[in-house]
Amino acid sequence: MPLEAPLAPVETRIAALNTRYKHHSATSVIERALSDAEVGRTAMVSSFGAESVVLLHMVSIMDRTTPVLFIDTEMLFPETLDYQSELAEKLHLSDIRTVKASRQDILIHDNEGLLHLHDSDACCDLRKTRPLEKALEPFDAWITGRKRYQGGKRVEIEFFENEMDKRIKINPLAHWSRDDLQDYITENRLPRHPLVAQGYPSIGCKPCTSKVMQGEDERAGRWRDQDKTECGIHFLNGKMVRGSAA
């Protein structure tokens, strides 16, 4: 059996992919990304949060055997764990891989489960960033649910991003609006995360997620009153990955 040809450098492939799929829809980006040789081995990373069902549904239609990496920080809302089980069954996703920090790392760095109270960045690094980085090692690319309308560091994201010349980050919903997401969920009769109706439009770990008041940004409830807007999975080696340049 012939060996697979090595992939070109990430930056070279990013430029070609963004040009090739510039005017494509989200579903086309996913469909092509899962079969395009220039993308390589691809996984999806999902929090099974407020809007996750959109991408999960799209992937289940294209290829339900796509590996889905679910980061369980062991500090999630019980409703999120129930929702994850519900969607896995409903969408017939056959390769969901639960990602957790090792017991040894938890015992060494956060034995009492209180690290988030005095260093939320360290907690995210321990329970999210490092476990995910290890889980992504076999892959050349990963699918995320980031969107430009979410603001902050996300306002200029493209369909394909360079993650530190290491792998490709795919953002199929980059150009979608909040209304696009809600319309898709309604039209496809998809189940919503139970906490959305209770005032949680963006859902992370229970200790660091609060309800959002009317008129607030939808991510205002994440790390409220902290100078922090990202959990860390969009960092690599402690550095923010911004657009196509890191």
Residues involved in catalysis = 231
- Which residue pairs from 233-240 have beta carbons closer than 8 angstroms and sit at least 24 positions apart in sequence? 233/45, 233/71, 233/124, 233/128, 233/129, 233/132, 234/144, 234/146, 234/153, 234/169, 235/129, 236/133, 236/163, 236/164, 236/166, 237/164, 238/125, 239/164, 240/153
Nearest to 40 by CA among 130, 126, 141, 111: 141
Residues with Cβ within 8 Å of 21's Cβ and at least 6 positions away in sequence, in order, are 28, 29, 32, 159, 160
